[in-house]
């Protein structure tokens, strides 16, 4: 009941259909049952009801702000007395992508994976009604979430296009970090342009339509980036947010436009931060060599000059935690143990 939205008038929502509801408990239900909602980051402005951007219709509850503070879906594994590791998914994905990493880390670490605002089971307000999905907002929102779930020191693992946001946060809070692990981050000049699979969501008018297609927004976005062969039971988890509400699509559209506008500047800032004499955080870059979105050319050269460690995953693609979750989990453990 917390995440299924049956309201009418939620944009171009593809509600119902073959994959919307499974017979009996689904993987999506099982995953949701493992997590909890955490309140963090106050919404801006008033609590006016969100409207459809084209027709002015009041949108469903999935596109409305849930209160004064946003709800984030978090899944935690391991004892709270162990060192904390925060696992941050990429764009577009969900915390579910770390389902095979969490058990590997749980014996030695308190591991937390969460859905960014706009993804999975976290809040997805319509842009201009409390959250606009800009990269600056995401940086501020991340700070609020970390203050809520990990007030003491922690290590952070982040995959993909959200890495520059995390590095910006880390630069301002180095005293909180034990280690930073970047998995296939956009780090060279060649990485500043989104692949066509993602860029299509920012197209005028067509972007709104494409982002409402569950197969294009979830399946294709994940499988086109590397060798990952998605199982049907896993695909249903990624499709679910797009099937039950138009909110996920509108958020995806807004995030893609923000990435198109600001990603290059954020990547340049990340490179500058990681190359700065004031950067003292232990940093490792893990790279799935079968990434079809981001080329490996230039990554080693950048890291060698700065003495950042590089670990290769020959059989993994862009979403390395999907392709080789257990392998990545063991690599993370080795890195954190030094």
- Domains: count for the chain: 1
- In 3D space, the residue among 215, 269, 206, 281 whose CA is nearest the CA of residue 242 turns out to be 215
Q: Considering the domain boundaries, does residue 32 fall inside one?
A: no
Contacts of 186 (CB under 8 A, 6+ apart): 160, 161, 163, 164, 192, 263, 267, 294
* Residue 279 exposure: Cα atoms within 13 Å on the Cβ side: 20
Output the tens digit of pLDDT for each of the chain's 338 residues.
333 344 444 544 444 444 445 556 788 999 999 999 999 999 988 778 888 777 777 777 788 887 789 999 999 999 999 999 999 999 999 999 999 999 999 999 999 999 999 999 999 999 988 999 999 999 999 999 999 999 999 999 999 999 999 999 999 999 999 999 999 999 999 999 999 999 999 988 888 888 888 888 988 888 889 887 788 889 889 998 988 888 899 999 999 999 999 999 999 999 999 999 999 999 999 999 999 999 999 999 998 888 899 999 999 999 999 999 999 999 999 999 98
Reduce the DSSP state of residue 310 to 3 states and report it: strand
Residue 102 included in any domain? yes
| HSE-up of residue 182 (Cα within 13 Å, Cβ side) | 28
Domain membership flag for residue 16: no
Domain-located, residue 57: no
CATH number of the domain residue 287 falls in: 3.40.50.1820
Report how far residue 294's alpha carbon sits from residue 288's, in angstroms, rounded to the nearest whole number: 10
What Å distances lie between residue 207 and 1, 51, 73, 128, 291, CA to CA?
29, 18, 26, 17, 24
Domain range spanning residue 295? 38-44+63-337
Q: Which two tokens stand for residue 254?
A: 């807004």
In a domain, 4, yes or no: no
Rounded to 10 deg, the angle between the 163-172 and 135-149 helix axes is 60
Residue 230 lies in a domain: yes
Question: What is the rounded CA–CA span in Å between residue 237 and residue 82?
Answer: 29
């Amino acid at each position: 009941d917390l995440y299924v939205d049956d309201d009418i008038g939620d944009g171009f929502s593809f509600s119902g259909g073959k994959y919307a509801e499974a017979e009996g408990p689904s993987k999506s239900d099982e995953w949701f049952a493992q997590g909890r909602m955490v309140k963090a980051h106050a919404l801006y402005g008033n609590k006016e009801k969100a409207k459809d951007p084209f027709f002015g219709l009041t949108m469903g509850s999935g596109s409305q702000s849930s209160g004064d503070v946003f709800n984030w879906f978090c899944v935690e594994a391991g004892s709270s007395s162990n060192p904390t590791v925060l696992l941050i998914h990429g764009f577009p994905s969900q915390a579910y992508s770390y389902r095979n990493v969490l058990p590997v880390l749980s014996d030695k670490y308190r591991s937390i994976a969460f859905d960014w605002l706009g993804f999975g089971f976290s809040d997805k307000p319509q842009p201009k009604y409390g959250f606009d999905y800009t990269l600056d907002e995401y940086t501020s929102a991340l700070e609020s979430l970390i203050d809520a779930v990990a007030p003491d020191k922690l290590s952070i693992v982040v995959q993909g296009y959200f890495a520059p946001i995390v590095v910006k946060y880390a630069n301002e809070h180095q005293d909180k970090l034990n280690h930073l692990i970047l998995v296939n981050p956009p780090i060279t000049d060649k990485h500043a342009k989104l692949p066509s699979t993602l860029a299509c969501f920012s197209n005028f008018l067509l972007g709104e339509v494409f982002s409402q297609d569950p197969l294009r927004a979830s399946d294709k976005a994940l499988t086109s980036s590397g060798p990952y062969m998605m199982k049907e039971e896993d695909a249903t988890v990624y499709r679910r947010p797009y099937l039950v509400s138009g909110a996920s699509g509108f958020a995806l559209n807004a995030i893609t436009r923000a990435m198109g506008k600001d990603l290059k500047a954020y990547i340049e800032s990340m490179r500058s931060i990681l190359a700065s004499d004031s950067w003292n955080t232990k940093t490792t870059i893990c790279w799935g060599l079968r990434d079809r979105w981001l080329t490996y050319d230039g990554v080693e050269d950048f890291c060698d000059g700065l003495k950042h460690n590089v670990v290769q995953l020959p059989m993994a693609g862009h979403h390395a935690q999907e392709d080789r979750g257990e392998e990545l989990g063991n690599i993370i453990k080795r890195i954190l143990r030094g």
